Chains A and B, each alone.
Chain A
């Protein structure tokens, strides 16, 4: 089943775009940590980075691969709990724990990806819910995973890499940023590779792909593995850097939907889509709260605000699907094209 057949492909302007990205990266590394307040880092940048990465992972599977998953949060949870337990029980360093956590999420992703070899479309989408519910159940039921803590909520270990202490907001931000930038580059390479082409081929016409010799089964399982690994690392960032606690509660079905919404709004089968979508998803509730407290001066209570947020979010999803199925990424693409045209003329 094809999710988005009409992904716009901009003509390659590698140098210009690469320059822009480098500038953006320089700002993110050098300027942001200096000027951003702890509030901005903790309430906006950290969840933004974690969710961007989760969206990136899901976009690989769903946007590029056409395999819809409703269980992203489960793999975030696997990543977070695996990293925690590897550190706790084997005493491994944080970087190694992250690699092992990614591997664990990949392995579990492959297990829950197995049905994709036989199921398609909605049957597959529904079967990914099994991952969501099973993982959440297992992590809640077996207290071993949370080191037998009575509440099921454990504090994340201090963030240290080698002798570097990253526990302050700036440190956590740089930790998350490093992971996100590194993995984004990897995804960029994957998408541009022949394996990435295979992934799109399987999405666009699975039967044709099979008949002409694209290794469909392997392509799907690899997609599940890589996607789950990336989402697992997103879970580590979420728990270690953002929440600073490891707990199953936050990795629920709503989180899975949130990640899916991120790539719908941002743009399926694009890398920047995950970032744009995550930015909107993170910033929008804060804006809504600000606006309402400004306009109604605290007359609207938090519960009502949550409901309004839900309604508006739902409407935004529907609106994007109807009016701009290629998401914010396409809007940005048009805007930059227009800007370029203006610059050229002027």
Chain B
């Protein structure tokens, strides 16, 4: 599989190339491939033999009822949980356990279901934290205000402003994030993930708690990000309407088992899905 895709500048590329600089590259591997992932807590098997892949530039949804194992899966990919078996492959590199602290360097970013922002920091500082992984100037250089540190900060501020303007939160950058409305905080969370220019972005319930208007806005952002940067997106979401509209392919989990996988059209027709998920939800 060798396709020419548009992707984000990788972490190692020249810094300051901007969030939306488009670099053509050939990739032979999927952005993410899971192979036989198993996970259990105590006696409960949260994930059983899950395999699937995400192609570069694809929006890949994972749906399923509460407790199906969606968030567990994202946590395995993030390295927060250690899978009992199976491998995670990122851009061709295989991991038995994802190193959580190097996630950003590998080119993976995520948002959090329950908004894991830093309430004691401003929106700008929150977003800039997404760039900490590639920062080179040390504490001493920063404290002494050496020019390398100053220009690095300036560059970061520029990138933060750029991404904030794109998401329409440029006006609140200097506000403490805890004083912002929930919908705006969700955008800050997204900005913090995007500013790192990841190749794979995991969105854990980005629509949860949003109003209808905010949902539409968020969906537009997600699509625009993909279209402009060609990054791969894993989307965990309860709002089926949003999922059907946004995703290229959908995997359905139920009790830790993948029961279906396919395009929105296929999933809508799948009897197993209707019974286990949509049916349960309707009942």
Q: Find out whether A and B make contact in their complex, taking CB atoms under 8 A apart as touching.
A: yes
B92 within 8 A of A: no
In the assembled complex, the Cα of A195 lies from the Cα of B109 at a distance in Å of 21
Given A186-B143, A193-B142, A215-B101, A201 and B118 contact (CB-CB distance below 8 Å): yes
In the assembled complex, the Cα of A214 lies from the Cα of B100 at a distance in Å of 11
Name the prevailing secondary structure of the B interface residues.
helix
A299 within 8 A of B: no
Choose one: B80, B104, B135; the contact of A212 (CB below 8 Å).
B104
Chain B residue numbers with a CB within 8 Å of A212 are: 103-104, 109-110, 129-130, 132-133, 192-193, 196
Residues of B in contact (CB 8 Å), total 43
Q: Is there an interface contact between B101 and A210, defined as CB atoms closer than 8 Å?
A: yes
Q: Is there an interface contact between A209 and B129, defined as CB atoms closer than 8 Å?
A: yes
Chain A residue numbers with a CB within 8 Å of B104 are: 211-213
Closest-CB distance, A204 to chain B (whole angstroms): 4
Which residues of chain A from 190 to 206 have any CB-CB distance to chain B below 8 Å in the complex?
190, 193-195, 197-198, 200-201, 203-205
Choose one: A7, A194, A222; the contact of B135 (CB below 8 Å).
A194
Pick from A212, A213, A215 the residue with the most CB of B within 10 Å: A212
CB nearest to A269 among chain B residues? B120
In the assembled complex, the Cα of A79 lies from the Cα of B101 at a distance in Å of 34
Q: Is there an interface contact between A204 and B132, defined as CB atoms closer than 8 Å?
A: no
Q: Is there an interface contact between A208 and B116, defined as CB atoms closer than 8 Å?
A: yes
Chain A residue numbers with a CB within 8 Å of B149 are: 193
1/0 per residue, CB under 8 A from A, across B91-108: the answer is 000000000111111000
A4 within 8 A of B: yes
Closest-CB distance, A275 to chain B (whole angstroms): 20
Chain A residue numbers with a CB within 8 Å of B112 are: 208
CB nearest to A64 among chain B residues? B120
A25 within 8 A of B: no
Given A5-B178, A212-B132, A197 and B121 contact (CB-CB distance below 8 Å): yes
Which residues of chain A from 1 to 47 have any CB-CB distance to chain B below 8 Å in the complex?
2, 4-7, 9
Choose one: A195, A216, A217; the contact of B142 (CB below 8 Å).
A195
In the assembled complex, the Cα of A132 lies from the Cα of B166 at a distance in Å of 51
Q: Is there an interface contact between A211 and B100, defined as CB atoms closer than 8 Å?
A: yes
In the assembled complex, the Cα of A186 lies from the Cα of B196 at a distance in Å of 30
Chain B residue numbers with a CB within 8 Å of A334 are: none
Given A190-B139, A193-B143, A211-B78, A6 and B178 contact (CB-CB distance below 8 Å): yes
Q: Is there an interface contact between A211 and B80, defined as CB atoms closer than 8 Å?
A: yes
Which residues of chain B from 120 to 178 have any CB-CB distance to chain A below 8 Å in the complex?
120-122, 125-126, 128-135, 137, 139, 142-145, 149, 153, 156, 176, 178
A189 within 8 A of B: yes
Chain A residue numbers with a CB within 8 Å of B192 are: 212
A207 within 8 A of B: yes
In the assembled complex, the Cα of A5 lies from the Cα of B192 at a distance in Å of 19
B200 within 8 A of A: no
Chain A residue numbers with a CB within 8 Å of B79 are: 211
In the assembled complex, the Cα of A6 lies from the Cα of B104 at a distance in Å of 28
Closest-CB distance, A222 to chain B (whole angstroms): 6
Closest-CB distance, A208 to chain B (whole angstroms): 3
Q: Is there an interface contact between A2 and B142, defined as CB atoms closer than 8 Å?
A: no
In the assembled complex, the Cα of A186 lies from the Cα of B144 at a distance in Å of 9
Q: Is there an interface contact between A194 and B142, defined as CB atoms closer than 8 Å?
A: yes
Given A9-B122, A194-B153, A197-B121, A222 and B109 contact (CB-CB distance below 8 Å): no
Chain A residue numbers with a CB within 8 Å of B116 are: 205, 207-208
B117 within 8 A of A: yes
Closest-CB distance, B193 to chain A (whole angstroms): 7
CB nearest to B134 among chain A residues? A213
CB nearest to B135 among chain A residues? A194
In the assembled complex, the Cα of A198 lies from the Cα of B126 at a distance in Å of 10
Q: Is there an interface contact between B105 and A213, defined as CB atoms closer than 8 Å?
A: yes
Closest-CB distance, A116 to chain B (whole angstroms): 15
B16 within 8 A of A: no
Choose one: A2, A194, A269; the contact of B132 (CB below 8 Å).
A194
CB nearest to A205 among chain B residues? B116
Chain A residue numbers with a CB within 8 Å of B125 are: 197, 200
Chain A residue numbers with a CB within 8 Å of B178 are: 5-6
Pick from B78, B120, B126 the residue with the most CB of A within 10 Å: B120
1/0 per residue, CB under 8 A from A, across B176-207: the answer is 10100000000000001100100000000000
1/0 per residue, CB under 8 A from B, across A161-178: the answer is 000000000000000000
B119 within 8 A of A: yes
In the assembled complex, the Cα of A201 lies from the Cα of B196 at a distance in Å of 16
Closest-CB distance, A64 to chain B (whole angstroms): 9
Pick from B103, B119, B176 the residue with the most CB of A within 10 Å: B119
Q: Which 9 A-B pairs rank lowest in CB-CB distance, beginning with the nearest? A: A213-B133, A213-B104, A208-B116, A193-B142, A204-B118, A5-B119, A189-B143, A214-B132, A195-B139
Show the binding face of A for B, using Cβ within 8 Å. 2, 4-7, 9, 186, 189-190, 193-195, 197-198, 200-201, 203-205, 207-217, 222, 269
Show the binding face of B for A, using Cβ within 8 Å. 78-80, 100-105, 109-110, 112, 116-122, 125-126, 128-135, 137, 139, 142-145, 149, 153, 156, 176, 178, 192-193, 196
Q: What are 22 A-B pairs at a CB distance below 8 A?
A: A2-B120, A6-B119, A6-B178, A9-B122, A189-B143, A190-B143, A194-B142, A195-B139, A200-B120, A201-B118, A204-B119, A204-B120, A204-B121, A208-B117, A211-B79, A211-B110, A212-B133, A213-B133, A214-B132, A214-B133, A215-B132, A222-B139
Q: Beyond the given A195-B142, A208-B118, could you list 12 further A-B residue pairs with CB under 8 A, ordered by the A residue number?
A: A5-B120, A6-B178, A194-B128, A194-B142, A194-B156, A200-B118, A201-B121, A205-B117, A210-B101, A211-B100, A212-B104, A213-B130
